[in-house]
Amino acid sequence: MPELRRDPVIGRWVIIASGRASRPKDFEHAVPRTLDNDCPFCGGQEVQTPPETFALRPAEGRPDGPGWQVRVVSNKYPALQIEGQLQRRGEGIYDKMNGIGAHEVVIESPDHHAELSDLSAEQIRQVLVAYRTRMQDLSGDRRFRYIQVFKNHGEAAGATLAHPHTQLIAMPIVPRSILDELSGCQQHYELKERCIFCDIIHQELGEGRRIVAENENFVSLAPFAPRFAYETWLLPKAHQSSFERIPDEHLDGLARAMRETLQRIHRLLERPAYNFVIHTSPCNVGRGAQPYHWHFEIMPKLTQVAGFEWGTGFYINPVAPEEAAAALREIDL
């Protein structure tokens, strides 16, 4: 059973998952890599994965059979386990609990070689529906406080399987980065009675210099103080606290904004490794009170900058966001 442990100084939780790779030599093989010709995520290979938790099958085939367009399965090597109770407990001055959670994989299409940005806007819309459906379902479990959607694309971004996929971890705590953002939002709200992300969007749309792409309901932009070169955020223009409550009529616009933003990044930076995460409101910790504004954060992995930054939380970015946004805007799609 993995364990969740809390750092006593800064309150950050980590997952201690000893089963995954305990001896020094095992690191290269911690998560098995799969050759292209034996990929468990490809169409027709459904028996190689754990049972699906969700799928979109236009032709109405049977679960765990072929014919799907998007498919969600449990992770075969989960970071957290679904069965059990949290059993919060102390150990002297320390706090810990059982590593309870859900760890799922959203397979974005049956095609091994089609990256997310290569898909049609309609197919990306289906991927977004898969995220939303699984988040809605998992937030019904009272043990979970946060559902993290994240994508690792390319080896430099930590991907271990080439077939395009997104991951989703439901966890019994709210991660540190989200707590920091919630508290910043709360402070701004107390001062101004406005959402800080709404204020950011207002200023950015007025200035235009850091805008990457825009449509009727969504905007993507290079943030004012980005940690990474070409870091890009994608946000709903109107205030919306939770991704899982995104209305149906916005899904198409989001899919188009996502596709355009990723295509600009891929063309300019020649298909870089990248990560994205969805930042959204916590679940099951009291609704309505949080003045949060969900968004995607897309982070290309271009340099090995992580050393110093890990120790300090202080980042050096070699590309001004105004230059990054201008270069991304200028790409001909």
Q: Rounded to whole angstroms, how far apart are CA atoms 208 and 150?
A: 28
Residue from 89, 224, 287, 289 touching a second copy (CB under 8 A): that is 224
Which amino acid is located at 73 in the chain? V
Residue list 227-246, contact with a second copy (CB under 8 A): 227, 229-230
Q: How far is the CB of 109 from a second copy (least distance, A)?
A: 21
103, 153, 165, 188: the catalytic one is 165
Q: In the window 253-312, what residues touch a second copy (CB under 8 A)? A: 268-270, 275-277, 279, 297, 299, 301-308, 310-312
Contact pick of 1, 7, 88, 287 for a second copy (by CB under 8 A): 7
Whether 167 contacts 103, CB under 8 Å: yes
Rounded Cα–Cα distance for residues 39 and 117 (Å): 20
Residue span 183-222 as binding mask against a second copy, x where in contact by CB under 8 A, dash where not: xxx--x-------xx-xx--x---x---------------
Task: State yes or no: residue 177 binds a second copy (CB under 8 A).
Answer: yes
Report how far apart, in Å, the C-alpha atoms of 268 and of each of 111, 118, 175, 196, 323 are.
Answer: 24, 15, 32, 30, 12
User: How is residue 193 annotated by DSSP?
Assistant: S
**Of residues 132 and 188, the one with the C-beta less far from a second copy:** 188
Q: Is the Cβ–Cβ distance between 20 and 2 less than 8 Å?
A: no
Active site residue 293: no
- For a second copy, give the closer residue by CB, 40 or 223: 223
Site residues (CB under 8 A) for a second copy, limited to 35-74 = none
The identity of residue 46, as a single letter, is: E
Q: Which residue has the tokens 């085939």?
A: 61
The answer for residues whose C-beta is within 8 angstroms of residue 167's C-beta and 6 or more apart is 75, 103, 104, 105, 106, 149, 150, 151, 152
Task: In angstroms, give the least distance from the CB of 307 to a second copy.
Answer: 3
Residues annotated as catalytic (active site), given as ranges? 165
